[in-house]
A = this chain, B = another copy of it.
């Protein structure tokens, strides 16, 4: 017997979904979030406007899913931070890489648009926290708990607070463009946080 393949309509739907999400990301980069329209997404993706309205409730929702698709790994596996046993080196490497990613226009424009929407839309903020922030936070927390077990961070420190203090100044500087998001800043942040939560803190 031949292996079962998905029916044509399912494959066609998946192709349309990918085309819509790709078109959304491209258009945000090209025209900005404010001038992004469902019409333009439909035209670029080669689908009817009604297809988009059937699957998404708002422009913000399409943008959200277009970014979520970026963070989904092809093998369906979860996110994990590197763990070489040296928490200082690992955090600096990961945050330097993130800083580079945040200055890439293809990534920068859509994530900035999403942040704008989140600030004014509590429902979207909740979806963001659940689907994007939570898995990322879990990965960061796992790496920090490993550092606690290795005696590199105080065992009784609140991991959520460590994440806030480590990442908020980084995100804030990017979001408000208040200063350069460079290696020097990243390293100073990591050093500060490791000092605040070192095992022998009084």
Spell out A's residues near B (CB within 8 Å).
32-34, 112-113, 115-116, 118-120, 122, 125, 128-129, 133, 158, 160-161, 164-165, 168-173, 175-179, 188-189, 192-193, 195-197, 201
Cβ contact within 8 Å between B189 and A165:
yes
| Chain B nearest CB, measured from A124 CB (Å) | 11
Contact B169 A164 (CB under 8 A): yes
Residues from chain B with Cβ under 8 Å of A175 in the complex: 119
A172 to B178, Cβ gap below 8 A? no
Secondary structure of the A contact surface, majority rule: helix
**Chain B residues with CB under 8 A of A122:** 177
Interface centre among A133, A168, A169, A175 (most CB of B within 10 A): A168
Residue pair B188, A161 in contact (C-beta under 8 Å)? yes
CA–CA, A76 to B192, complex, Å?
Answer: 37
Q: How far is the CA of A118 from the CA of B158 in the complex (A)?
A: 32
State whether A164 touches B158 (Cβ < 8 A).
no
Residue of B nearest to A178 (CB): B129
Q: Which of B178, B188, B195 contacts A201 (CB 8 A)?
A: B195
Q: Quote the shortest CB–CB distance from A90 to chain B (angstroms).
A: 19
Min Cβ gap A140→B in Å is 13
Contact B196 A33 (CB under 8 A): no
